[in-house]
Amino acid sequence: MEKPRVAFFDFASCEGCQLQVINLEEDLLKVLEAVDVVTFREAMKEHSDNYDIAFVEGAITRKSDEERLKGIRANAGVLVALGSCATLGGITCLKNFHDQEYVRKLVYGDKASHYETYPSRPLNAVVPVDFKIHGCPINRDEFAMVVKALLLGKNPEINNFPVCVECKMAENICVFEKGMTCMGPVTRAGCGACCVTEGSFCWGCRGLVDDPNADSQREVLATHGLSVQDILGSFRLYTGFSEVAK
Amino acid sequence: MELQLIEKSDHDLFVQNLINNYQVEGVKPKDGSFIYGSIKAPEELCLDFDCTLISPKKYFLPPKEALLQFALTPDSEITPLIENDPFILFGVHPYDIKAINQMDRIFARGVPDPHYLQRREAALVIGVDPTAVAPRSFWADMGASTVSEGFDLMFTDMGEHFIVEIGTNRGRNLLEEHAKLKPATTDDARERVRIRSRISHICKKRGFAFPKRDIPKLLEHSWNNFLWEEQASKCLSCGTCNIVCPTCYCFDVEDHVDLDLAHGERIRRWDGCLLQDFAAVATGENFRETRASRYRHRFFRKGHYLFEILDDLACVGCGRCASGCLPDIADPVNLFNKLKEG
Amino acid sequence: MNQPMLEDSPYLPKWAEITRIEQLTESEKLFELRLVSGEPLGHTPGQFVELSVMGIGEAPISVSSAPAENGVFELAIRKIGNLTTAIHGSVTGDRVGIRGPFGTHFPVEEAKGKDLLFVAGGIGLIPLRSFIRFVLDHRDDYGEVIVLFGAKNPSERIFLYELEQWGNREDIVYLDSVDKSGPGWQGNVGVITTLFSKIHVDPSRTFCIVVGPPVMYRFVILEAKAKGIPDRQIFLSLERKMKCGIGKCGHCQINHLYVCQDGPVFRYTDIFDLEEAL
Amino acid sequence: MSNEKIIKVNHITRVEGHGNINIKIRDGRVEECQWQVVEAPRFFEAMLRGRKWYELAHITSRICGICSIGHTLTSLKATEAAMGVTLTGQTEKLRRLLVHAENLQSHILHLGYLVLPDLLKVPSVVPLVSTHKDQVLLVVRLHRMANEMSDLIGGRTIHPQRPVVGGFTKWPAAEELETLRTRLADSMPDVEALASLIKDLAGNLPDFSRETEYIALTSADEYALYDGDIASTDGGSWPVDNYKEITNEYLVPHSTAKFTRHKRDSYMVGALARLNLNYDHLTPKARGVAETFQLRPINYNPFMNNIAQLVEVVHSIDDSIRLIDDLLGNGIKDEKPSFSIQAGRGVASVEVPRGILFHEYEYNSNGECVWANCIIPTNQNHANIQKDMEAFVPQIKNHSEEEIELMVEMLVRAYDPCISCSTHCIFL
Ligand SMILES: Cc1cc2nc3c(=O)[nH]c(=O)nc-3n(C[C@H](O)[C@H](O)[C@H](O)COP(=O)(O)OP(=O)(O)OC[C@H]3O[C@@H](n4cnc5c(N)ncnc54)[C@H](O)[C@@H]3O)c2cc1C
Ligand code: SF4
Ligand code: SF4
Ligand code: SF4
């Protein structure tokens, strides 16, 4: 069987998700045995437009990027969105809540007209996306799981239950009991509740589960002392592109 | 009933002896709560906890467990993985023992499940009577203040010493080999009854406003009660109530493959009936599509369905679900009392 | 230490070899299998197996052949998810894992000497075929036999060759219908219940066996009752998500029943008043 | 017919972010020579407006995956400066360890995955997996150690979790630190092997020098990474609060990133700048490595930035061991951060792998950010890259197009630019 040809691309992002791929360390070498990586700008000079699977990191933040993404979509058999920026719009959507002209002026002053920008959006707002690997950054094991599934010809099984499940299994004290608040009850699991485990709280970086009970989450946050503004802020941090945050 | 006595001053020695000879798992503090974990020194072991975050079911039905190991090549052997390393589980409250007893029956009934049963067999269970009651516990009302089986030894903290009830021969041997014992007198036995009823009395502050044996009947007439909808509208479908519950045992099965794509494992992991996709099938059909139907299912399972199988309610009153549920709708006491009110 | 206890684990599949594959429709294939050990599967019509492709997963699949067909058995599988797609990609000679047979079966014995009314919707015909073939193999043991088969459209009709045979047989009544007509279709059009007006049964001696999609049951049962067939002579096979097949994982639970062990075949009287069953 | 060489690199590879190189040489005359940054701008400073004090480090960490630890720490320090939070010695030491962890992560990644292929004249590390398996495994081992060090101290390899305003949420256990210490000490043979590999190939680094200004943090008593004053090789030193006097930002039409200049047209930041300004504080072992490459201050060859990174790898390992011993000596304590939220303005700076980084925030009394500014190392280097190119290309103009392309790419890569970082600075 011929090895599948794999390419990596990035748009507006911190490139941390591609770095997570490199961070597979020894396992990356195993991946390299199973697939042919034909494009990975962050790590290699080789480049090819002939690939089966495209992993695409980053959000779309300007009209001119749409063409490049559409080109990738046209070449790729399978397109996988890599990380929150690509799957949700992620952190980059925070700017959507300011007037775009104001944003440009704020950062680039009277030279603002040189800098094209429009409200940030996830890949699937521009082209169809086959699979999503959520997270900011992505979880290395989940990336490996998706690669393995694609190699075996199966659809990767991406969780649709909230972070609380993994958080309880990790035997964490719920942060609400510690006087903090948490997006875990509406956020898609798969990270092993890593933030709570590390003493923080769930920021919501993996996006919402398919059917989040946003009303109840708002109520829970409100009973724990968050103002309406803060609650919106919590939803907007990562899922600003989704309806519940608007 | 056979009772023995261990002086508090001799207790550390006993625990140390166990540590020297066995893998010992017990209760440890964590961030102001308690969890079960491995005990490496006597002072780590905590016996005066109110309730742990997750019940000891994790030792018999681990959150994630490999069932089979296989190679992807045709004809290769498939090897079941069955864990039966002996270990001591030190510090299990009677309500959790009651839950373990229920699980034992579930996993032995019909087609027995050796993955569970062997682990269970490998464990020596040392129970301990509660010295404190968690805010949402109601085990006393669930008839789980004491248990008569399911433990090898049962400790009761009597202040200066522990009284140890011997549950099995395995327990007796362990005790005789590793502890400095004194015989317990009938006065000690009487005192133990008193201490137990005192703590049980504290726990009784929470409970049902009606006899709990009426619960199955109550549910039979409550299928269409408005409460399911009303309460479940707040449900986050977070599955917390399932995960923490000592009597919940549903699981999912998945194949995991190594990166070499040549070897793999079939694993099972905890699942929960409150989670959205629990009853969803490949066609897209979801047999419990609404939050309310999933929410109701859990209470029916605890109070009715499993009753038909176990002849007992599948809730032992630990209150873990109640304290873990953020919108506070998972508490059996609140829900059943509300249902009763109508 | 992990100690292998080979024969003890109910999760351990047996190897079976695919001996024949037949494309039934665009999305359904028939697989003929033989256990590598040489032993017969030993099922009774209505039972299912847990089929594995190691590395992909496991799924419950009804046995579609009648018992004891030369040591081979048949599964008919719709390609819909991971496991079913993987099996669709396999070729003759490939090996798969089999656990089971599991669950309850159709009233093969009880219905002897009685009349049978089979009602199949879509791929509900897969498990029913096992019983129908058994009855046809033992035709003298049973009375009148009627088979009603409904499909969404002509292209979703499975086992075409057999349907034609059944239609040509003198000793059974075979009627079918499609919800929506399609190219070349000249038969009945309409939901399956419309076929009931075309048949006559002696209700007291008729066993009605129904398998189809969840929505179908309620309507078919009404028709069967309208014909006067007693509730306890109505049988149906239910589908639920399954992960273990041995009554542990909880996914298939309906009330106190586990569909994998207490079902999938139920007598109507045992479940008619159970919420969530139908 | 005129002799024309056109070098056009769209999206230079093996760097972080998107940058282009445009060179046109006609009849031996360099007509065009441009370094363009085309990364999509992300406007972080705007995003920060209105966000809560505890979110800023989380958000700014996402400026760059490779320097996420540096952004996190700089952000925390800026918030702490704004709110007058004091830190314990333990916190400061753990943060210093974290800076080392990131330095190791980033430098090893750069040297092993990005520079080594250049020196071995292959397009990427992929072919090396078969031709130089042992060397690749060595790099992987060192990189994994650095990642696990970040995991242990920061709670994640990138976008760290544990460092928060005022301290940490979780602390490594003594045994964990001991294990780390052993691993660091045991990694020296690997580092030496990497050093000698690079030494053997160092002849492939172009011999090119251009006098410029170097800017980095300095401190009286250490090789300044986590803290210090701003200093210049042209003389002078400034408190971090005065950072704007140094980092005069300006925009150029061909780039989405901003350029900076100080006394001259441009200046350079990064490992070489640090080494030029902090040489005396290198550990003896690190200085020994510098010596084998004849790397002494002030060195004006930008390609030597690669070697300066190698020297810093040794320094970071040595100094981490010292810090761990110090931490273990005092015993690790659980120290819950304590402070009160206040309005205020604060500036902070940390030396991240690519150079000096500044964050400045202003908060209102609710702890909401009302104004923010981040000045990123690569931004400060863009102008210097441009000026280097202008000086370098005429020197190599007689080479073939391919050779020029490779050498100019190597020049850009020597800066280890982190472009995605650099495209969102506020205009004041
Ligand atoms: C008793 C019984 C008999 C069946 N007989 C047949 C048959 O003869 N032919 C046929 O084509 N299909 C049959 N099905 C349906 C078949 O089980 C599903 O189509 C199959 O499980 C889908 O698996 P998948 O891995 O392809 O899909 P995925 O969507 O990838 O499913 C993942 C897993 O979820 C579970 N699951 C998903 N859908 C179902 C389902 N409908 N029923 C039970 N578990 C499910 C399985 O464990 C499956 O492996 C039967 C179902 C039951 C309950
Ligand atoms: S800490 Fe967050 S993720 Fe964990 S249980 Fe609580 S709400 Fe859920
Ligand atoms: S009842 Fe409570 S704990 Fe259970 S799933 Fe719903 S919200 Fe979560
Ligand atoms: S239902 Fe709640 S109270 Fe009852 S056993 Fe389960 S977790 Fe404990």
DSSP B98-160: HHHHHHHHHHHSSS--HHHHHHHHHEEEEEE--SS--TT--TTTTT-S--SSS-SEEEEE-SS
Averaged confidence pLDDT in chain B: 94
Using a 6 Å cutoff on CB, does residue A185 contact ligand 2?
Answer: yes
Cβ neighbours, 10 Å, residue C255:
18
- Any B CB within 8 A of C91 CB: no
Model pLDDT, residue D424: 41
Mean pLDDT, residues C234-242 = 95
Work out the average pLDDT over B272-283. 95
CA distance D232 to D316: 22
pLDDT (tens digit, 9 = 90+) per residue, A76-118? 999 999 999 999 998 888 888 877 767 666 666 656 555 677 8
- Chain-centroid distance of CA C263 in Å reads 12
Residue B274 Cβ < 6 Å to ligand 3: yes
**D45: pLDDT strictly greater than 80:** no
State the average pLDDT over residues C32-56.
Answer: 95
Write down the residue that tokens 């009660």 correspond to: B225
Q: Which residues of B touch C253 (CB under 8 A)?
A: 301, 305
SS3 state at C227: coil
The whole-number pLDDT of residue C1 equals 41
Closest-CA distance, D221 to chain A, in angstroms, reads 33
**Mean pLDDT (chain C, rounded):** 92
A44-58, C153-167, C197-211, D32-46: segment of lowest average pLDDT: D32-46
C85:A153 CB<8 A: yes
Quote the mean pLDDT of chain D: 89
Sequence ranges of the domains in chain B? 2-62+82-203, 212-255+270-341
- Whether pLDDT at D421 is above 80: no
| pLDDT of D41 strictly over 80 | no
Find the range with the poorest average confidence among A5-14, D215-224, D249-258: D249-258
Q: Of the segments A96-110, D184-198, D235-249, which one has the largest average pLDDT value?
A: D184-198
The alpha carbons of chain B give a radius of gyration, in whole angstroms, of: 22
The predicted pLDDT at position B67 comes to 96
Q: Give the closest residue to C123 by CA, choosing from C92, C80, C86.
A: C80
Is A204 near ligand 2, meaning CB less than 6 Å away?
Answer: no
Query: Nearest to residue D368, comparing CAs of D48, D45, D47, D43?
Result: D48
Tell me what pLDDT residue D1 has.
46
Q: Decide if the complex's ipTM is over 0.85.
A: yes
| Average pLDDT estimate for D133-162 | 95
**What average pLDDT does range C36-59 have in this prediction?**
95
C220-246 in b/e burial notation, b at 16+ Cβ within 10 A? bbebbeebebeeebbbbbbbbbbbbbb
User: Average pLDDT for residues B22-46, to the nearest whole number?
Assistant: 96
> Closest residue (by CA) to atom 44 of ligand 1?
C241
What is the DSSP annotation of D206-268?
A: -------EEEEEE-SSS--SSS-EEEETTS-EE-GGGHHHH-EEEE-TT-SSEEEESSSS-EE
- How many whole angstroms from B137 Cα to the centroid of ligand 4? 9
CA distance linking residue D399 with residue D115, whole number of Å: 21
Nearest by CB to B243, from A30, A148, A168: name it.
Answer: A168
Query: For A135-139, C156-160, D32-36, D423-427, which range has the lowest pLDDT when averaged over its residues?
Result: D423-427
Q: B233: burial class by Cβ within 10 Å (0-12, 13-18, 19+)? A: middle
* E strand or H helix that includes residue B293: helix B291-300
Q: Are B292 and B237 in contact (CB under 8 A)?
A: no
Under CATH, which number does the domain D44-422 receive? 1.10.645.10
User: Which CATH architecture group holds A5-151?
Assistant: 3-Layer(aba) Sandwich (3.40)
pLDDT mean over D33-57: 82
pLDDT digits (tens, 9 = 90+) for A219-243: 999 999 999 888 988 999 998 888 7
Question: How much is the average pLDDT of C40-62?
Answer: 96
When mean pLDDT is compared across A27-31, C150-154, D120-124, D138-142, the lowest value belongs to D120-124
Distance A186 CA to ligand 2 centre (A): 10
CA-proximal residue: ligand 1, atom 41 (nearest)? B281
Residues of chain C with pLDDT > 70, as a percent, come to: 97
Higher pLDDT, D312 or D379: D312
C208 is in an annotated binding site: no
Nearest CB partner across the interface for A199, out of D47, D62, D161: D161
- For position D4, what pLDDT does the model report? 84
> Cβ of D136 and A115 within 8 Å?
no
pLDDT confidence bin for D232, thresholds 50/70/90: very high
Bond into B332 cis (ω within 30):
no
For residues D67 and D102, is the Cβ–Cβ distance under 8 A?
yes
Q: Per-residue pLDDT for D428 more than 60? A: no
Residues D426 and A106: beta-carbon distance below 8 Å: yes
Residue C233 has pLDDT above 90, yes or no: yes
Alpha-carbon gap, residue B72 to C56, rounded angstroms: 10
pLDDT band at C61 (very low <50, low <70, confident <90, very high): very high
Which of the four pLDDT bands, split at 50, 70 and 90, describes residue D14? low
pTM metric for this prediction: 0.92
Mean per-residue pLDDT over chain A, rounded? 89
Q: So what's the pLDDT on residue D423?
A: 46
Helical axes B94-108 vs B114-122, angle rounded to 10°: 140
Section B247-272 average pLDDT: 95
Whole-number percent of chain B with pLDDT over 90: 90
Residue B324 near ligand 4, beta carbon < 6 Å? no
* Ligand 2 contact via A167 beta carbon (within 6 Å): yes
Strands D4-9, D19-26: pairing is antiparallel
Judge contact between C101 and C63, C-beta under 8 A: yes
* Ligand 2 centroid, distance to A174 Cα (angstroms): 5
Q: What's the N-to-C CA distance of chain B in angstroms?
A: 44
Ligand 3, residue B236: give the atom nearest the CA.
Answer: 7
**Closest ligand 2 atom to the C-alpha of A172?**
4
Nearest ligand 4 atom, CA B95: 5
Give tens-digit pLDDT for A34-91: 898 888 877 777 778 889 999 999 999 888 899 999 999 999 999 999 999 999 998 8
- In chain A, the residue whose alpha carbon lies closest to the alpha carbon of B289 is A211
- Ligand 3 neighbour B275 (Cβ under 6 A): no
Chain A hits for C56, Cβ within 8 Å: 152, 154
Q: Can you tell me the distance from the alpha carbon of C278 to that of B287, in angstroms, rounded to the nearest whole number?
A: 10
CB of residue C81 inside a 6 A radius of ligand 1: yes
Provide, as residue numbers in chain D, all residues whose Cβ is less than 8 Å from the Cβ of A25. 140, 143-144, 147
Q: What percent of chain C has pLDDT over 90?
A: 87
Could A15 and D113 be called an inter-chain contact, meaning their C-beta atoms sit closer than 8 Å?
no
Q: How far are the Cα atoms of A154, D280, D281, D305 from residue D218, in angstroms, in the given order? A: 55, 11, 10, 18
Asked if pLDDT for residue C143 goes beyond 90, the answer is yes
Mean pLDDT of A181-191: 96
Residue C214 binned pLDDT confidence (cut-offs 50, 70, 90): confident
- Chains B and C touch each other (3 or more Cβ pairs < 8 A): yes
Sketch out chain C's domains with CATH numbers: 6-102 (2.40.30.10), 115-271 (3.40.50.80)
- pLDDT of D416: 84
